[in-house]
Structure 1
């Protein structure tokens, strides 16, 4: 948003209106620091009269011409702006935003002039002829250069100055080619588009004043973003980043974290750790589990670098990292969607400017004691809506779980890694297919008989919903071959299972899958602890057969030892995550 548009919205929202009696100013610039503001005031003062500088309530420093009456101020604004003497986004202002005056040096009272106080009117004023003030002399406006003169003055520019103009045109979206300091067809076309957008004749050759306006606008845009060089010695990174929008927060290995300023929704991180390409690509997988990297967005991996983009309604983010010289270095930038256009340019600057130096972060810089199982270096890890169990049912990686586990999921993953889709549901069951080909270590072989009452059984499942990286076995007994209501498809078990175990295979002593643990609804009845239910193997086999998967039978009567049974259960059981 330009300063003129911002000012119009501000004045409208605050109910400020100019009148003929009020003092009116032409505000030409706002700078973030006093030294720069003084330098700019001195430059304007060499060419213009009535240059004043005031500190704003926001902490910035404004340069303004005046004060004038409203009509005179409007005429000044129009004349100076059309002549290219002041920026095109200069605007009219009253004195309300201005605080302490810093220019001219030694200005009286040191503050913005107070609004005039009207003298009390006499009760019976005597009519007088109006006093006609002599018209103020029109300002001397330097004529614009002809295209021939503009090209001649352009010829005096150094190559670096020409590159600076290309960079400024690129920043504002007019130039798309390489920064080479050569004014070819692409540069000329971008200059013409810039001229047209700013109300000038589109000649494709910038005059001296137009070049100054473009450069000043670019400088102001950079100042608004607070871009500056950060030399992070502990991380071994030197980079240009928006330090005016973020501030240092803490070290949390392998990140240097920067938090937002003034609730602007910005975050930044520098990435620094020892490592090689394997470390880099491990980081690539980890970063995608973080809340600051939304699921939507492009991902790319090269031989020794990667980029991650993420976007949703609340945030956008960009992460870049590379392996170099025994280190993994990079950065992340998180910002509101409304800032996407500006941040796209900031990201280019950050990536181009990042220099790797000696040194890296070490774990002892972090406060590991403050981290929980759901945090990675103090960052929120994306959490699923729910996590349950499932198990492989063939060598192609198909997984069987409960229908309730995957109901209303926006996304399904297996073992936190592999995407999966639902291919069939029915009878409270869901069949999942992985998006990439999987070859499981083992898969279910189903019991051909219902089993003996009071025989030992075990449920393999992710009892703690992924807090542990492997399933656990919960042992119990087969108590009945039907449900409490006489349901023939169910078996009743006695074991202390947890919600995360639901969907896991029920194993007999021989390792055959005799059923699946289900969360059986008994219409609000509270059962004694340890009462659980399983959908029988015959029901599972029928469902699989109806949906194109052949169930393998296991009619062995040989009892496995505890270690082999645990290995079998671990190899076939899968963590099923349901995401938003």
Structure 2
């Protein structure tokens, strides 16, 4: 039977036949089990078209590209192998070795093994001899003894041995130095790989096993679409997963890459002029972004830093260094489920990054599109609630309202320092910083109730952190009790905002006469200037009950307005409540 007639008889289960003009395939991998084969097929399909999977006569599973004409197959093989997208030992095959199709899933279980044709009616003429179809030989599949495997291994170059270590590291079997030396650690990793793949754990890979390992590794790289990017405008050359991301936009200091084909992967290239001071400023700024989760290792050296973010929904890795008057680097963002693959991608990106001339520069025309919750178009992490507080001693303890820190997953002071709730009561909360702080100033509590109609000032973060420093709001002391006769409250005539709640109420000597509170008067709509202060005596009692002796003010002289501003600014803290 001629080859063209043979090909015409290859029928699919759904009735589709492969044409005689398209009977060549590029075989890229052969795998021992269906689950692994489907995983590899899915990975290849994210970067390549025409991916097919067939069961082989041997019981293994082949991954192929096609079908193509002979010329198309030759061209595709050269193109993809030359680009390093498919393994170097990929080859061209016809339909002979392939049986049931398992990929694409849902495409129909194609069986392209030859079926027996319907016999024609008897013919009196002598039958023409039909040549037996020639099936290409399968790739060499050596079953070596440990001694033979060690002998074939000895022929490997040092670079080839390093490649095997890299491949085992990729799949999580090896975590030592990539040195091309097969010592006890490498042998143990090889044995573990063999055991995991159903082979005898000899610790010496046979030729067949080495080929399988490298095929799987090269296939994994191909699925990620790793390729070199030369970003002239940013002055960076780097190998990155271009099969999973695509260029989005320039937004100083970032080149932004969005996810491609719902890969869940995003990337930034970092480029700006600067030195070590710029670098460490970037180190602080990056940690305010949503794409850098709070959990994870932080590392800062003399001329570089790394940030590892590990959240429930995303992980990320940022690397940047100062070099030649520039700060250059990258951020890779990915789902937690892809952490193992991305760990190797991160190594490749970091090892391959080359700093070249040129850098991004700010585009002032974009300023109108920015906001306090955005940095270069990226979401800045914001607390769920921001209120005011103030230092009450030289060790950095902070007093605020209990409402400000209720149900917080995390508490910060001035968006920088972590704090915990040491005590609550009477609507108050005492916060203790996680690191030792030495405030510029702290509260000295008034020893008298004050004089009616006397001027007062509230220091607070009126705009909940939109401004870098607290503002002072001036008013008067209107009553020495609350509207319902509450003795612990004073009533103020003062136009404060919700962000001011928790801030210190100062008299004109600089003494803290109370704390601004959000007094609940259910069902009442009061004039906007009616505010309430919890008296200094209540604050002192609460602090004393929790081990802090409040300092008393001994000043009686009136201060200038400028001095009140400095005093209030130095003692007031922005309290952030994070989910």
1:126 match: none
What is the distance in 2 between the residues matched to 1:456 and 1:95? Answer: 78
Structure 1 segment 74-89 matched on structure 2, within 5 A: none
Quote the RMSD (CA, aligned, Å). Answer: 3.4
Structure 1 segment 350-361 matched on structure 2, within 5 A: 350-361=349-360
Distance 1:220-1:323 versus aligned 2 partners, 3 A rule: same
Q: Does 1:171 align with 2:170?
A: yes
Question: Shift of residue 424 of structure 1?
Answer: 1.4
1:50 match: 95
Distance 1:322-1:203 versus aligned 2 partners, 3 A rule: same
2:126 match: none
8 Å CA contact retained: 1:412, 1:421: yes
Q: Does 1:4 align with 2:31?
A: no
Question: Shift of residue 42 of structure 1?
Answer: 11
Question: Shift of residue 367 of structure 1?
Answer: 2.9
SS for the counterpart of 1:483 is coil
Question: Shift of residue 193 of structure 1?
Answer: 2.5
What is the distance in 1 between the residues matched to 2:415 and 2:452? Answer: 37
Residues 302-353 of structure 1: CA deviation (Å, up to 9, x unaligned): 2222221112221111112222222222211111111111111211222222
Q: Does 1:398 align with 2:397?
A: yes
Structure 1 segment 186-205 matched on structure 2, within 5 A: 186-205=185-204
8 Å CA contact retained: 1:24, 1:95: no
Residues 493-527 of structure 1: CA deviation (Å, up to 9, x unaligned): 11110000001111111111111110000113111
2:423 match: 424
2:250 match: 251
Structure 1 segment 63-462 matched on structure 2, within 5 A: 65-66=97-98, 68=99, 92=102, 97=107, 143-364=142-363, 367-462=366-461
Question: Shift of residue 389 of structure 1?
Answer: 0.6
What is the distance in 1 between the residues matched to 2:33 and 2:302? Answer: 44
SS for the counterpart of 2:539 is helix
Question: Shift of residue 6 of structure 1?
Answer: 7.0
1:495 match: 494
Residues 257-284 of structure 1: CA deviation (Å, up to 9, x unaligned): 1111122221111112222222222211
Unaligned runs of 5+ in 1: 12-22, 52-64, 74-90, 99-110, 120-134
8 Å CA contact retained: 2:38, 2:103: no
What is the distance in 1 between the residues matched to 2:283 and 2:251? Answer: 17
SS for the counterpart of 2:363 is helix
Distance 1:370-1:232 versus aligned 2 partners, 3 A rule: same
1:29 match: 63
What is the distance in 2 between the residues matched to 1:41 and 1:180? Answer: 23
Question: Shift of residue 554 of structure 1?
Answer: 2.1
Distance 1:455-1:211 versus aligned 2 partners, 3 A rule: same
What is the distance in 1 between the residues matched to 2:105 and 2:393? Answer: 78
Deviates more, 1:386-395 or 1:368-377: 368-377
1:106 match: none
Deviates more, 1:508-517 or 1:298-307: 298-307
Residues 415-459 of structure 1: CA deviation (Å, up to 9, x unaligned): 111111111111111111111121111111122211111111111
Unaligned runs of 5+ in 2: 1-30, 42-52, 67-74, 119-131
8 Å CA contact retained: 2:95, 2:112: no
What is the distance in 2 between the residues matched to 1:92 and 1:438? Answer: 64
8 Å CA contact retained: 1:445, 1:512: yes
Residues 107-150 of structure 1: CA deviation (Å, up to 9, x unaligned): xxxx998999x99xxxxxxxxxxxxxxx9999888652333333
Distance 1:505-1:297 versus aligned 2 partners, 3 A rule: same
What is the distance in 2 between the residues matched to 1:42 and 1:187? Answer: 24
Distance 1:461-1:142 versus aligned 2 partners, 3 A rule: closer
Question: Shift of residue 211 of structure 1?
Answer: 2.1
2:50 match: none
What is the distance in 2 between the residues matched to 1:2 and 1:456? Answer: 84
Distance 1:387-1:30 versus aligned 2 partners, 3 A rule: farther
1:471 match: 470
Question: Shift of residue 579 of structure 1?
Answer: 0.8
What is the distance in 2 between the residues matched to 1:43 and 1:534? Answer: 79
Distance 1:7-1:366 versus aligned 2 partners, 3 A rule: farther
What is the distance in 2 between the residues matched to 1:272 and 1:320? Answer: 12
8 Å CA contact retained: 1:147, 1:203: yes
SS for the counterpart of 1:363 is coil
What is the distance in 2 between the residues matched to 1:365 and 1:162? Answer: 52
Deviates more, 1:562-571 or 1:172-181: 172-181
Question: Shift of residue 365 of structure 1?
Answer: 8.8
What is the distance in 2 between the residues matched to 1:514 and 1:2? Answer: 78
8 Å CA contact retained: 1:422, 1:433: yes
8 Å CA contact retained: 2:388, 2:501: yes
Distance 1:386-1:270 versus aligned 2 partners, 3 A rule: same
8 Å CA contact retained: 1:506, 1:514: yes
Question: Shift of residue 560 of structure 1?
Answer: 1.4
8 Å CA contact retained: 1:95, 1:113: no
1:543 match: 542
8 Å CA contact retained: 1:458, 1:507: yes
Question: Shift of residue 184 of structure 1?
Answer: 2.9
1:85 match: none
Deviates more, 1:313-322 or 1:204-213: 204-213
What is the distance in 1 between the residues matched to 2:202 and 2:113? Answer: 46
Residues 217-271 of structure 1: CA deviation (Å, up to 9, x unaligned): 1110101111111222222222221111111111121111111112222111111
Distance 1:172-1:8 versus aligned 2 partners, 3 A rule: closer
What is the distance in 2 between the residues matched to 1:94 and 1:295? Answer: 40
Distance 1:97-1:366 versus aligned 2 partners, 3 A rule: farther
8 Å CA contact retained: 1:514, 1:536: yes
Question: Shift of residue 34 of structure 1?
Answer: 4.2
Distance 1:490-1:214 versus aligned 2 partners, 3 A rule: same
Deviates more, 1:359-368 or 1:533-542: 359-368
Question: Shift of residue 529 of structure 1?
Answer: 1.7
